[in-house]
Structure 1
Amino acid sequence: MQPFQFSTTPTIISEPGAAGRLAALCSDYQASSVFLVTDAGILKAGLLSQVQPGFDEATLKLTVFSEVEADPSEQTVLAAIDQARSAGADVVIGFGGGSSMDVAKLVALLASPDCQQSLPDTYGVGQAKGKRLPLIQVPTTAGTGSEVTPIAIVTTGETTKSGIVSPLLLPDVAVLDAQLTLGLPAHVTAATGVDAMVHAIEAYTSKIRKNPLSDMLAKEALRLLAGSIRTAVSDGGNIEARQRMLLGATLAGQAFANAPVAAVHALAYPLGGHFHIPHGLSNSLVLPHVLRYNSDFAEAHYGELAPIVLQRQLEGHGSDLAEQLVTGLEQLIRELGLPTTLRELDIPEDFLPRLAADAMLQQRLLVNNPREMTEADALTIYQSAY
C-alpha cells in the first residue's frame, strides 16, 4: 500500500436545524465576539433568522459581514479581515456557499493576533503560517465541500485566481443543516450537486495522492449524490434528499481535500474567470469531455464508479463501463436542465484557444490528472464541449 496522509475537519454535525445551535458551538470556544461571513443573498433570504436568536439569548456579540461576492476578490477578503479585527473577533463562522466559506477561512487566519502575514504571503501551497481563530463552517449549498477542505480561492485580477492551500485552513466544525438549503433554486441545486459529483470522481482517479480513505469517501459521496440529486432538483422541499446532498458534498470534499482534483477543474476555472460562469456549471460543461479524454488511462476506476453513479447493475467491463459512466453523466446533466454546450453560454468560438492557454496555468491541478494534458489537448476538449 502506498503511504498516505489524511486530514479533515474534526467535527461534522449533520442534522436539520443544527444551525440554530451555532451560538452554543461558539460558546464552546469561550467566544465573546463572533464574526460571521456571508453574502447579501443569504441576508435577503432571511436565513440568519434561524441563527440570530441563539446569539441574542447567549448575549454573545455577533458581527455580520455580508459583502462576499461570487469569486471573491482580494479587496473583499481584506475588507472582511479589517472588520473582523475591528470587531475583536475571537471565533469566525462561514455561512453560505464556497465563496463565503473561503473568505471565512482567510479571515480566521489573517485576523488572528497570532498571524503576522499579509494576504499575498499566503498564496500557494503550504505558505500560510501562524495560528488561526476557531472556525465553524455552515454550507448553504451542497457543492463545494469547502467546510472540510484546506483550500481557499481568491480572485487576484480581472480573470485570474490564486489558491491558498494549508492545513491551517481546515475548519474546526462543519454544520450540515438541510433547512438552510430548502429555498435554493433548482438550477443552483443541480449545478452545485454536479460540482460535488465531480469532486468525488476526480478524487477517485487522482494520480498522485489517491488513497483508500479518499476512495471510500468518494464512492459513498457518489452513492448519496447520484441517489438524491434528481429528487432535490425536482422537489426542493424534500428535506431528506437535501440532507443527503449536503452529506454527499461533504464526503466528496473530504475525498478531494486529500486526493486532489484534476483536469475538469483546470478547464473549468478559465470559464469562470473570463465569463463568470458559476463554478459548478463550468465543471458540468467540460466533465463528459474530460472523462472521455482520460478514459483509456482511468477505465478501471471509471468502471468501478459507473454502477454507483448510474444506481444500477451494469453489463460489460473495461471501456464499456467507462463509456456508460460518461453517457450516464451526460444524460443526468440534460435531465437536470443544465446547459450542455459552451455555445449556449454565448462563449465565442474564437476564444477557445485563450481558454486552453489559461487552463495550462493550472498545473497544480493538471499534475493530478490520470492522463497528461497539453494545450492542444485542452483546445480539443473545449471544441468538443462547444
Structure 2
Amino acid sequence: MNQMTFHAPRLIEIGGGKVAGIAALLARLGLSRPLIVSDPFMVSSGLLERLTQPLRAAGIAFDVFSETIPEPTDIVVEAGVKRIAPHHDCLLAFGGGSPIDTAKAMTILAAGGGKMRDYKTPAVADRAALPLIAVPTTAGTGSEATRFTIVTDSERDEKMLIAGLGAMPLAAIVDYELTFSVPPRITADTGVDSFTHALEAYVSRRANAFSDPLAISAMRLIGANLRTAYHEPNNAAAREAMMLGATQAGMAFCNASVALVHGMSRPIGAHFHVPHGLSNAMLLPAVTRFSLEAALPRYAEAARLAGFAAPDDADQLAGAKLLEGLQALNAELSVPTPKQFGIAAADWQAKIALMAEQALASGSPGNNPRVPDAAEIVALYDGMYE
C-alpha cells in the first residue's frame, strides 16, 4: 500500500441538535473565551442564537465578528484579525463556507502577519494563532473538516488557495437541523459543490485508500438526497444525509485534493462574483466530459454510486449516463450558464485567458485525470459560456 498522510479535525460532533452542546465542547477542549465569526444574515435571521444562547446559559462570555461576506477577501480577513483581542482563546465559526474560511484565514494571518497573499499555495500555512471550532449551517463546502481556505486578493482579483495545518479546525459540530432554513438556491449550489468534492477526490491523481471510502459514501448520500433536500426543504432525513455527505466529501478532498473543476471555478468567482458552489455546478458537466476517458472506470463507478447508472451498467454506458445525469441535474436545480447568470460575452472573453492562467497556477488542474494545458482550459471556458 502506498504511504499517505491523513488530516482531520481532532473531534467532530455529528447529529441533530448538537449545537446546543457547544459549551460542553468548549469545556472539554479547555476553551472559554471565543470570538464568534459569522455573517450578517446569521445575526439578522436569529439563527446565531442557536449558538449564543447555550453559551450565555453556561456563563461563557463571547464577542462577535459578523462582517464576513459571501466570497471572503483579504480586506475582510484583515478587519477580522483586528477584532481578535488578547483575552480570546479560540475562534468559533458559525455559518456557511465563507465565515469558516474567513475564520481560518484570520487565525493564519494573526499567527504570521504580513499579507494574505504571503500564504497562497505553494506556501504552506501550518501556523494558527488560535484554535478554531467550525459549525457549518450549509451542507456544502466541507470546510469544517479541511486544511484549506479560499480568500480573494482584492488588488489582483484572484481567488487564492491557502493550505496548511493552520486552516484545519480543532473541532466541528455538524448539526443538520441548522440547514432547514437554507433556501433552495443555496441548497442546490452547496449540494453540487459537495458532490464535486467527492467526485474530484475519487478521480484525483492523489486519491488513496483512506480518501476513497469517504468519497464513495458521500457520493451515495448526496446522489440519493440532493434532489429531495432541494424540493422538500423540511425533509429531515434528506437534510441529515446531505450534511453527513458534505462533511465526508470535505474529508475526502482534504486528503486527495480537488482537481480541474475547482481550479477553473475559483477565477470565475473572483472576476464575476459567482458563488463558489454555483460556478462548480456550471463547470461540472463540461469538465467531466473532458476528463471522462482518462479515468473511465472511476467515473463509471461514481455514476453507479450516485444513482445516475444502474449497478450492472458497463463502464462506457455508465460514463455516458454520468454526463447525461449531470446535465439533467443542473437543469432540475436551475443552474444557469455564465450567460444566463448575466455575464456579458465581451467581459467573459476578455477574462478567459487570465482565468486559465490563474486556474493552472492554483495547482488543482494537476490532480485531474486528464491534465489540461492553458489552451484547453480556455476552450472549456469558451464552450461553457452558453
2:316 to 319, 340, 348: 319
Q: How far is 1:123 from its partner?
A: 2.7
Q: How far is 1:272 from its partner?
A: 0.9
- CA displacement, residues 46-84 of structure 1 (integer Å, 9 cap, x when unaligned): 112112222112211111110000111112111111111
Query: In structure 2, what is the equivalent of residue 5 of structure 1?
Result: 5
How has the CA–CA distance of structure 1 residues 110 and 25 changed in structure 2, closer, same or farther, with 3 Å as cutoff?
farther
3-state SS in 2 of match to 1:84: coil
Mapped to 1, the partners of 2:104 and 2:272 lie a distance apart of 26
- Which ranges of structure 2 fall in alignment gaps of 5 or more residues? none
- CA displacement, residues 333-386 of structure 1 (integer Å, 9 cap, x when unaligned): 2112222x2221122333236224312322311111111212221222223322
3-state SS in 2 of match to 1:94: strand
Mapped to 2, the partners of 1:213 and 1:239 lie a distance apart of 29
Query: In structure 2, what is the equivalent of residue 169 of structure 1?
Result: 167
Query: In structure 1, what is the equivalent of residue 130 of structure 2?
Result: 133
Query: In structure 2, what is the equivalent of residue 153 of structure 1?
Result: 150
Q: Sequence identity of aligned pairs in percent?
A: 37
Which residue identity lines up with residue 193 of structure 1 in the other structure? G
| Residue pair 1:19, 1:50 contacting (<8 A) in 2 also | yes
Q: How far is 1:311 from its partner?
A: 5.8
* Mapping of residues 1-386 of structure 1, within 5 Å: 1-85=1-85, 88-111=87-110, 115-120=111-116, 121-157=118-154, 159-207=157-205, 209-310=206-307, 313-314=310-311, 316-339=313-336, 341-350=337-346, 351-352=348-349, 354-363=351-360, 364-385=363-384, 386=386
How has the CA–CA distance of structure 1 residues 336 and 348 changed in structure 2, closer, same or farther, with 3 Å as cutoff?
same
Which residue identity lines up with residue 373 of structure 1 in the other structure? P
| Residue pair 1:65, 1:80 contacting (<8 A) in 2 also | yes
Which residue identity lines up with residue 184 of structure 1 in the other structure? V
How has the CA–CA distance of structure 1 residues 48 and 336 changed in structure 2, closer, same or farther, with 3 Å as cutoff?
same
3-state SS in 1 of match to 2:257: coil
Q: How far is 1:22 from its partner?
A: 1.2
Mapped to 1, the partners of 2:23 and 2:309 lie a distance apart of 43
| Residue pair 2:105, 2:151 contacting (<8 A) in 1 also | no
Mapped to 1, the partners of 2:113 and 2:6 lie a distance apart of 26
How has the CA–CA distance of structure 1 residues 11 and 384 changed in structure 2, closer, same or farther, with 3 Å as cutoff?
same
3-state SS in 1 of match to 2:83: helix
Which residue identity lines up with residue 187 of structure 1 in the other structure? R
| Residue pair 1:211, 1:259 contacting (<8 A) in 2 also | yes
| Residue pair 2:268, 2:279 contacting (<8 A) in 1 also | yes
RMSD value over aligned CA atoms? 1.8
- CA displacement, residues 157-189 of structure 1 (integer Å, 9 cap, x when unaligned): 252122220022211111111121111111110
Aligned length: 380
- Which ranges of structure 1 fall in alignment gaps of 5 or more residues? none
- Calculate the TM-score normalised by the size of structure 1: 0.93
- CA displacement, residues 201-235 of structure 1 (integer Å, 9 cap, x when unaligned): 1111111x210111111110011111111111111
Q: How far is 1:130 from its partner?
A: 3.8
Q: How far is 1:10 from its partner?
A: 2.3
3-state SS in 2 of match to 1:3: coil
Which residue identity lines up with residue 308 of structure 1 in the other structure? L
Structure 1 window deviating more from structure 2 (122-131 vs 247-256): it is 122-131
- CA displacement, residues 14-68 of structure 1 (integer Å, 9 cap, x when unaligned): 1111111112211223333211101001111111211222211221111111000
- CA displacement, residues 117-165 of structure 1 (integer Å, 9 cap, x when unaligned): 3343433245325454221101111110100110111111252122220
- Calculate the TM-score normalised by the size of structure 2: 0.93
